[in-house]
């Protein structure tokens, strides 16, 4: 398979890595509030009662929960691809499956931890 099929795997995983924090740090820690709307009133009341250290802890908890959800999604997606001999493709390029010998979710965890992409293993 071509290097672009490996790059598709890498950009696919990295898209999840880059979105794992979402907006929580900005809204909870930096701004200290969610956008002004009736649906956010309770959350904003809670945030206004918290110290900066407590808001940092809450943001970390929200980020961990979001990352856990992404991880679980990648587990299901990976298993469905593996069990059904399925493929994912973009613009006619089929994503190479496990080009580094790791699952989608293992690569997500590694990349989130700052690990570089390893060399692709031969198919």
Residue-wise pLDDT for 37-95, tens only, equals 999 999 999 999 999 999 999 999 999 999 999 999 999 999 999 999 999 999 999 99
For residue 118, is it within any domain? no
Identify the band that residue 2 occupies on the pLDDT scale cut at 50, 70 and 90. Answer: low
End-to-end CA distance of the chain: 8
Summary mean pLDDT of the chain:
92
**Residue 88 Cα distances to 18, 29, 80, 92, 110, angstroms:** 20, 37, 11, 10, 21
Can you tell me the distance from the alpha carbon of 64 to that of 68, in angstroms, rounded to the nearest whole number?
Answer: 6
Does the predicted model carry a pTM greater than 0.75?
A: yes
Residues 6+ apart with CB under 8 A from 66: 20, 21, 22, 24
For residue 123, is it within any domain? no
For residue 91, is it within any domain? yes
Residue 123 has pLDDT above 70, yes or no: no
| Strand, coil or helix: 19 | coil
Identify the band that residue 1 occupies on the pLDDT scale cut at 50, 70 and 90. Answer: very low
For residue 63, is it within any domain? yes
For residue 117, is it within any domain? no
| Strand, coil or helix: 122 | coil
Q: Which domain holds residue 9?
A: 3-112
Residue 3 has pLDDT above 80, yes or no: no
Structurally, how many domains does the chain consist of? 1
For residue 76, is it within any domain? yes
For residue 122, is it within any domain? no
pLDDT at 122: 53
């Amino acid at each position: 398979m071509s290097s672009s099929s490996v790059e598709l795997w890498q950009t696919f995983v990295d898209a999840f890595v880059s979105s794992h924090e979402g907006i929580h740090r900005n809204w909870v820690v930096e701004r200290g509030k969610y956008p002004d709307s009736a649906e956010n009133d309770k959350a904003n009341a809670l945030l206004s009662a918290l110290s900066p250290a407590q808001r940092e802890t809450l943001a970390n908890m929200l980020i961990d929960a979001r990352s856990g959800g992404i991880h679980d999604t990648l587990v299901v997606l990976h298993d469905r691809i593996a069990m059904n001999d399925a493929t994912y493709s973009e613009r006619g390029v089929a994503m190479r499956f496990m080009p580094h010998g790791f699952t989608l979710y293992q690569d997500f965890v590694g990349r989130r931890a700052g690990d570089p992409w390893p060399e692709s293993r031969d198919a």
